[in-house]
């Protein structure tokens, strides 16, 4: 069997899940209830068909869910092409503008599968800057299949532990190893189908974009103002393609190139994470407190030896789990989303070299949404559901072999732990998505923010998307880590906020050092 890339193996685990420094801010307690009244404007129903009018005319019932926050649920069609076949529920949170609201700003943290409700409720000032908090009703929502919305459900916690952290019995790369992993993917897919109440065929980005238009209309906004991170850029670009006349001020930060097929996505990300890992390693060596020595190349070779050692002999954690090379790589990837997490990576390496997997598991658990033995979200399930429906199946052994060779040459440290059987090969439904350029003809200017050494959504994708869009405007943040806005770069922040607040379109190609 030809080794096949894990489809979008790391793909954009999501701003909310992986870009936050490991401070626990996403798990903060929601503040006490507020009694401030909420308001809802008249829904925008212009151009809505008769069969969809009941959805666009529904009354939203808002309840306080913290000081300044309102929460509600929106009813959407299960199948937008056949709206009479069933309904789903979308969970929505609103943080009311602290000043006079100029409108609503919808946000999406990425994934696919990250919770926009959690991001806004628990990390509002990470999601948006203070000027946006002052002037916009900031909206977070869980897309279909995610979190508190009608959700994809697959395994319980022990089953997820085995699926995500289990150690295969067969030797890595062997036919038996591939068969073992494919069988695990099949069991997971069957559980998702059995436990998700028939929603899997409809967990697509196109349907999620249509849901977003429904939310916009029910908020009373004639056009959508939107800030999407990571996968959220694909969701936002899809919206602009479907509803160009409704696309207001859209900012797409850490872009996905919608024209890139799955194999190329995986290869580009592998090279991106290898580049970010080398940048981390140089910083680690410069610190004088690095568990590795010598040049970057020598340190990377030593890291490769550590990964191979853990692959041969997994490290036992205090809770009984075994840390294999795949889980260690998951932890590495999690830390590379933000420079703020690099110290944790150094600690994980230092401990692992001494046989202690504690911090490595902390990083991997953070990536997987696991805390104290409990999965705090369904991001892993929703991630697979979206990707398996959005990405067409690729079955070209020659292309797969060429991709493997590209990864081996450009990402030698990561390569041994990147490829494997495609989990979507055994998904219960065939994909319905396409990979093609998005031009969004008829939409106004759309800002695309790219970071030069972003590992998860490499800079070249932001360049490509900005070039594809009929009125794409590229802003470049020179630096490390995933996404660019609200990361301490005043140039980026000013450009984004001037656009969202005052409709000031920055110069295309603005470069922020």
Active-site pick, 19, 149, 196, 230: 230
What is the number of other CB atoms lying within 10 angstroms of the CB of residue 209?
Answer: 22
The packing angle between helices 358-368 and 325-336, to 10°, is: 70
For residue 465, whether the previous peptide bond is cis, meaning omega lies within 30 degrees of 0, is no
The Cα 507–Cα 420 span in angstroms is 43
Q: Please say whether the beta carbons of 68 and 31 come within 8 A.
A: no
Active-site pick, 95, 454, 464, 493: 454
The Cα 477–Cα 488 span in angstroms is 10
With b for 16 or more beta-carbon neighbours within 10 A and e for fewer, the 91-125 pattern comes to bbbbbbbeeebbbbbbbbbbbbbbbbbbbbbbbbe
Tell me the CA end-to-end span of the chain in Å, nearest whole number. Answer: 46
Q: Please say whether the beta carbons of 80 and 207 come within 8 A.
A: yes
Active-site pick, 275, 338, 379, 482: 482
What is the number of other CB atoms lying within 10 angstroms of the CB of residue 46?
Answer: 10
With b for 16 or more beta-carbon neighbours within 10 A and e for fewer, the 389-413 pattern comes to bbbeebeeeeebeebbebbeebbeb
What kind and span of H or E run contains 170?
Answer: none
454 catalytic residue (yes or no): yes
> Which residues are identified as catalytic?
230, 454, 482
């Amino acid at each position: 069997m030809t080794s096949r890339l894990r489809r979008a193996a790391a793909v954009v685990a999501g701003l909310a899940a992986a870009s936050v420094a490991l401070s626990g801010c996403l798990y903060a307690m929601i503040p006490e209830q507020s009694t401030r009244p909420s308001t809802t404007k008249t829904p925008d129903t212009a151009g809505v068909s008769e069969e969809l009018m009941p959805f666009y005319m529904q009354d939203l019932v808002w309840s306080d869910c913290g000081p300044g926050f309102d929460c509600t649920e929106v009813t959407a069609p299960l199948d937008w092409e056949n709206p009479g076949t069933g309904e789903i529920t979308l969970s929505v949170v609103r943080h009311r503008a602290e000043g006079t609201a100029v409108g609503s700003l919808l946000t999406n943290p990425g994934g696919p599968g990250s919770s926009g409700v959690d991001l806004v409720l628990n990390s509002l000032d990470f999601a948006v800057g203070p000027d946006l908090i002052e002037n916009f009703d900031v909206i977070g929502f869980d897309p279909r299949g995610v979190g508190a919305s009608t959700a994809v459900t697959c395994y319980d916690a022990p089953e997820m532990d085995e699926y995500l952290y289990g150690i295969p019995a067969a030797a890595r790369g062997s036919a038996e190893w591939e068969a073992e992993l494919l069988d695990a993917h099949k069991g997971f897919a069957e559980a998702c189908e059995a436990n998700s109440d028939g929603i899997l065929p409809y967990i697509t980005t196109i349907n999620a974009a249509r849901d977003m238009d429904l939310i916009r209309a029910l908020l009373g906004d004639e056009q959508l103002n939107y800030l999407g991170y990571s996968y959220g850029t694909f969701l936002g670009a899809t919206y602009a393609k479907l509803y160009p006349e409704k696309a207001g001020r859209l900012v797409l930060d850490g872009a996905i190139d919608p024209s890139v097929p799955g194999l190329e996505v995986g290869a580009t990300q592998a090279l991106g994470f290898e580049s970010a890992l080398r940048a981390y390693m140089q910083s680690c060596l410069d610190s004088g407190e690095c568990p590795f020595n010598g040049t970057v190349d020598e340190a990377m070779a030593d890291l490769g030896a550590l990964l191979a050692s853990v692959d041969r002999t997994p490290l036992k954690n205090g809770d009984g789990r075994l840390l294999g090379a795949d889980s260690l790589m998951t932890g590495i990837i999690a830390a590379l989303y933000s420079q703020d997490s690099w110290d944790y990576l150094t600690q994980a390496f230092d401990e692992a070299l001494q046989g202690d997997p504690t911090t490595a598991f902390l990083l991997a658990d953070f990536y997987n949404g696991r805390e104290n033995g409990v999965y705090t979200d369904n991001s892993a399930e929703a991630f697979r559901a979206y990707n398996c429906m959005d990405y067409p199946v690729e079955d070209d052994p020659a292309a797969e072999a060429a991709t493997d060779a590209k990864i081996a040459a450009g990402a030698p440290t990561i390569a041994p732990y990147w490829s494997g059987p495609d989990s979507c090969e055994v998904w219960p439904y065939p994909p319905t998505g396409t990979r093609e350029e998005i031009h969004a003809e008829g939409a106004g200017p759309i800002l695309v923010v790219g970071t030069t050494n972003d590992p998860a959504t490499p800079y070249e994708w932001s360049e490509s998307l900005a070039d594809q869009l009929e009125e794409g405007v590229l802003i470049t943040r020179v630096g490390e880590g995933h996404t660019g806005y609200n990361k301490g770069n005043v140039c980026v922040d000013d450009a984004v906020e001037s656009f969202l607040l005052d409709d000031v379109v920055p110069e295309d190609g603005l470069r922020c050092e």
